[in-house]
Chains A and B, each alone.
Chain A
């Protein structure tokens, strides 16, 4: 049983090592191969763990992966309330 690194998407250390074996050498690339960091917490937990594995396996690491808004999940209705007239379809 391999250690679970990304609890949101059930990605294990073995999955990440397999991605590295396939040539992945950045956190973003591992994410797109394994879904690690694509879940509800968006990598809050696993991003650093994946970066540490890359560092251990490959030496130097290129970046810690892209962080994107929102910083924490917010519901679509709340986001929609920030909408101002003038930015409409078209």
Chain B
């Protein structure tokens, strides 16, 4: 039995867990990061890496803006190459006035925060993104300089490496059980190891309920098509009004919601999504979904039709009943959760790391809207 001692054990080396580990290590805590597979093996490494503020829930808007400001200096802070490109527009493409009316509140929320966003005509949005079809009659566009794309795998590795440089430890092993003593956290154990620590942060996404059953996190599978590297340029992040509806669709198991989400990685590959299969935690490609994603992409962006699709990957988001993350104390003293980020974890990670470290140290009062125990009470 391998025995470790720490001030804090962070379970899950995804982008959220490593961001938290980095901030806690920066605050002087002895941190051990526990990971059953490898860094960013879950949702963090199976997504399109978008950095957006437009479209965020009002409770997450401030955190998203905070996080995007942190991304501006993150590569220098972590001394790492993150393939972070900010200053790209985010476009919600609309077909018809009903869809345009549906995205108008997103524009208003950006403006309430003093950030650039506006509704534009079909002609104006095609000037910004010539790949869009004439079927697009208008769009909500936010072009405030903060949004863009990042390599989420690189960010996760960089947070982890920076935490290790500050004295944190990394242990490969699946956390199987928490132990408590007198209503307080005492540690966490795997099959051949245990960590003694007064504080545990559960940041393993859709697997969180395996350790803390009262966390209402359910899997939500997404499927993404990856094209070959291309000289075609996608200008920012292209979403559809239906994407907004899909993101906010009910969480009923068995329901699948589709919406356009097209972005280009720094490598030149174009990533085409998105789907949300509620309650599905498998990694299999569901028949019919890639075809629907392809048809949808060709409808909105006809020039993509000739590109070769080289890979179809799946990822499992962690989704809560109200689709807001669970972040803060839960259950016995010393236990914290940071899970359920669904599709917003990449954008929010730098904020989430600083926020949870603040909550753990007592310097920040947790936001009740995001409280990890809001569904169960304490």
- Bind each other: yes
* A residues whose Cβ falls under 8 Å from a Cβ of B: 23-26, 28-29, 32-33, 35, 38-40, 42, 68-70, 73-77, 79-84, 87-90
B77, CB-defined interface residue at 8 Å: no
Contact of A80 with B258 in the complex, beta carbons under 8 Å = no
The CA-CA distance from A23 to B249 in the complex, in Å, is: 40
Number of interface residues of B (CB under 8 A): 46
Which of B25-33, B141-149, B201-209, B293-301 contacts its partner? Answer: B293-301
Could you tell me the distance between the alpha carbons of A69 and B313 in the complex, rounded to whole angstroms?
8
Distance between A64 CB and nearest chain B CB, rounded to angstroms: 15
Find out whether the CB atom of A77 lies under 8 angstroms from the CB atom of B298: yes
Q: Which of A25, A35, A75, A84 contacts B308 (CB 8 A)?
A: A75
A residues within 8 A CB of B305?
75-77, 80
Q: How many A-B residue pairs have CB under 8 A?
A: 110
A83 near B310: Cβ-Cβ < 8 Å = no
Chain B interface helix/strand/loop/mixed: mixed
**Which 8 A-B pairs rank lowest in CB-CB distance, beginning with the nearest?**
A89-B242, A83-B295, A73-B308, A77-B305, A82-B291, A79-B294, A80-B294, A80-B295
Residues of A within 8 A of B326 (CB): none
Residues of B within 8 A of A (CB): 38, 40-41, 45, 153, 157, 170, 172, 225, 227-229, 240, 242, 245-246, 249, 256-260, 267, 269, 272, 285, 288-292, 294-298, 304-313
Knowing A28-B41, A79-B225 are in contact, say whether A42-B292 is a contact too (CB < 8 A).
no
B157 touches A83 (CB 8 A): no
Question: Would B291 and A76 count as touching, CB distance under 8 A?
Answer: no
A42 to chain B: which residues have CB within 8 Å?
310-311
Inter-chain contacts of B242 with A (CB < 8 A): 89-90
Q: How far, in angstroms, from A23 to B305 measured CA to CA in the complex?
A: 40
The 8 Å CB contact of A74, one of B288, B292, B308, is: B308
Min distance, Cβ B143 to any Cβ of chain A, angstroms = 24
Q: Which residue of A lies closest to B170 (CB)?
A: A23
Contact residues in A for B294 (Cβ distance below 8 Å): 76-77, 79-80, 82-83
A-B contact pairs, 20 of them (CB 8 A): A24-B38, A25-B172, A39-B310, A68-B312, A69-B290, A70-B312, A73-B308, A73-B309, A75-B308, A76-B304, A77-B305, A79-B291, A81-B291, A82-B290, A83-B291, A84-B288, A88-B258, A88-B292, A89-B242, A90-B245
Q: What residues of chain A lie closer than 8 Å to B291, measured between beta carbons?
A: 79-84, 87
Q: Is the CB of B288 within 8 A of A87?
A: yes
Q: Is the CB of B258 within 8 A of A69?
A: no
The residue from B172, B256, B285 contacting A68, defined by CB atoms under 8 A apart: B285
Contacts of A90 in B (CB 8 A): 242, 245-246, 249, 257-259
User: What's the minimum C-beta distance from A65 to chain B, rounded to whole angstroms?
Assistant: 12
A61 to nearest B CB, angstroms?
A: 13
Q: Check B306 against A77 for contact (C-beta < 8 Å).
A: yes
Contacts A24-B38, A68-B285, A69-B312 aside, 18 further interface pairs with beta carbons under 8 A come to: A25-B172, A39-B229, A39-B310, A42-B311, A68-B312, A69-B290, A70-B312, A73-B310, A76-B297, A76-B304, A76-B309, A77-B305, A80-B297, A82-B291, A82-B294, A83-B292, A87-B291, A90-B245
Q: Quick check: B38 and A70 within 8 Å, CB to CB?
A: no
A79: nearest residue on chain B (CB-CB)? B294
Cα-based distance from A23 to B309 in the complex (angstroms): 31
Q: How far is the CA of A23 from the CA of B13 in the complex (A)?
A: 14
* With A82-B291, A87-B288, A90-B242: A68-B309 Cβ-Cβ less than 8 Å: no
